[in-house]
Every structure is written in structure tokens, then in C-alpha cells.
Amino acid sequence: MKYRPDFPERRFDTLDLARQWAASFTNWYNEKHHHSAIKFVTPGQRHRGEDVEILAKRMLIYEKARSKHPERWTATCRNWDRPAVVTLNHTRASKEHANLELKKVV
């Protein structure tokens, strides 16, 4: 939170103002901010499962663009596969857990 440009430089005057700011931040973070770790969808979209359709559409768009103008592409299309496991803070343990989960799926 504190690294957001709109984070107040001084303390909140009241608890209610702090709660209002935190609610606004939470809404922005969950519904507006597109996260690279979850393929540029919002956490809200991921949580509701909306990302499945969004990512499928993105892949089709990329494949269509590549087939229409193959000379513009030097490699394969971007990977728009849905991440199987999402963690808030990546640690060695969470990466190992994610790898184990992927092995179970495959």
C-alpha cells in the first residue's frame, strides 16, 4: 500500500478516513489492477473464474494475429495458460509447492 502514489504522506486524521482509503485501495487492487503473475487479469477476475475466458480469448487473438502476419513474429505466441497455483508472496517453499501441484495435474 505505502508504495502507491496516492498513499497519504501524513497520517489519517480519523479512523474513518483510514478505512475509506483502505476500502478504495482494496477495490482498486482487486478490480482494476492487472497482475503480471496471473497473466494480466485482476485478482477479482481470477477469483470469480472470469480469467479462463479472458485468457482463452487473448490466445485466439494472438494466434490470429500471428497467422495473419507471421513476418512480425520471431517466436511462438505469448503463453496465456492460466497459472495453476497463485501465491501472494513467492518464496522458495511456495514455488516448490506450485511445482508439486503442477506435477499432480500433469
CA angle 100, 101, 106 (to 5 degrees): 95
**pLDDT tens digits, residue range 9-45?**
889 999 999 999 999 999 999 999 999 999 999 999 9
Q: What is the pTM of this model?
A: 0.73
Question: How many residues are present in the chain?
Answer: 106
Name the residue among 44, 58, 48, 55 with its Cα closest to residue 83.
Answer: 55
Compute the Cα dihedral for 67, 71, 77, 78 and give only its sign.
negative
Question: What span, in angstroms and rounded, lies between the C-alpha atoms of 91 and 72?
Answer: 37
Q: To the nearest whole number, what is the mean pLDDT of the chain?
A: 86
Q: Bridge-partner residues for 35, per DSSP?
A: 41
